[in-house]
Structure 1
Amino acid sequence: MCFGNLTPQLASIQYSLADKVTESDDFRRLERVGGVDISFSVDNKAVAAAVVLELKGLEVIETKTLETELFFPYIPGFLGIREVEPSLSVLNTLKHDFDVLMVNGHGIMHPRGFGLASHVGVLRDCPTIGVAKRLIDERYINVATQRHHAEDQFLISKNGCVIGAFFRGKYVSVGHRISLKTALNVVERTSIFKTPEPIRQAHLLATETFKNILEERG
């Protein structure tokens, strides 16, 4: 199948769903933070991992993994289409609730305002924060990295509107049902190392689980 022919239709879906994103705090408490990440190989076999941490003390209270397969190829700007289903599936296996979810991907800091974090947030209807290593739109990178200091929050705007921030080497943006101010506060409170703990723990879990699967199957 030529997925490239589908990108205009998929882009239209992203634009439509982006209208459902809200950028204000919409939760009753902020005590537990979830994290989700996916580790995959060249043949599209993947492991999705989810964790739940106490915000105070960052104690991990639950972890879950799910072996899955990714049916959509990686196309810049369409990571949400590729990873939203396994992300939602592993989150549905959690027994503990979380108040805010951190996703390894962009929120509204996306060409169509609807990255993976927004995709997960809107479909699950939960507060989400997007945390990514790099921008899809490269034009902001040099400005952000050249003028940024470790503890600064360098706000990034598009067409006069703030769409996220460059903070501690990561690009942070609203996913859904949270303000950027609160999102940055949560990132700061959960950052022992360069990567916030909810995502770091989910990434380590997904990667280790996938490695063990490969070893078991020779």
Structure 2
Amino acid sequence: MQHLLLLHGAFGAKDQFEPLTEKLKDDFIIHTLNFSAHGGTPIPGTSLSIELYAKDVLHYMLTQNIEQANIFGYSMGGYVAMYIAKHAADKVKKNVTLASKFHWDETIAAKEVKMLDAAAIELKVPAFAQQLAARHAPSDWKLLLQKTAEMMMNLGRNNTLSINDYNSIATSSLLMLGDRDKMVTLEETIAVYKNLPNAQLSVLPNTSHPIEQVDTDMLSYIIRNFLLH
């Protein structure tokens, strides 16, 4: 069977993919991993970045003796998948992204960072704060938010992948976006889709941004159909 890596989003962890793994485990050898600073992995003293997360993936593939794999990346994980396809194309068989924010500028970064106030999260959505604390223990989830905010501001100043970078990504790719996603726009997704030489586009009905709210049956069907045909 083909290898399939599932890459989580910012503030996420590999355990979020357990429902999707159950749906796909009979068709693929499933691999999940936690990015640096996520899911209890140590928070590095250096800055967080897309490049760092790509190194996490390539290091995992090396330790698991995986020469090539399909990648499904949710949100930030999809951006990482595209970065790997750009800089280590031989490692990627096919790419699938969902709800990935590709367009960054200083205005967008500032807007996203405003939502990463740990004190406000504890006050307004304490259940989410508790979830973050549990998901990333024993690491400090508040420090993760701070370092992610810094990463977003860096993306705003200098987007890791420019729109023109996608022209050279030959990897067969499927870009998916929920029709009710309030973080990622259809326009930015289509812009990347049009610049990829070998890509497909899919808009998921009645679907918002959080991975927990995505219809797993629908998602697994689309992933399976794209990767195996």
* Structure with the higher fraction of residues in strand conformation: 1
* Structure with the higher fraction of residues in helix conformation: 2
Higher relative contact order (CA 8 A, sep 6+): 1
Which bin holds the TM-score, normalised by the shorter protein? 0.3 to 0.5
Normalised to the residue count of structure 1, the TM-score between the two structures is 0.35
Normalised to the residue count of structure 2, the TM-score between the two structures is 0.34
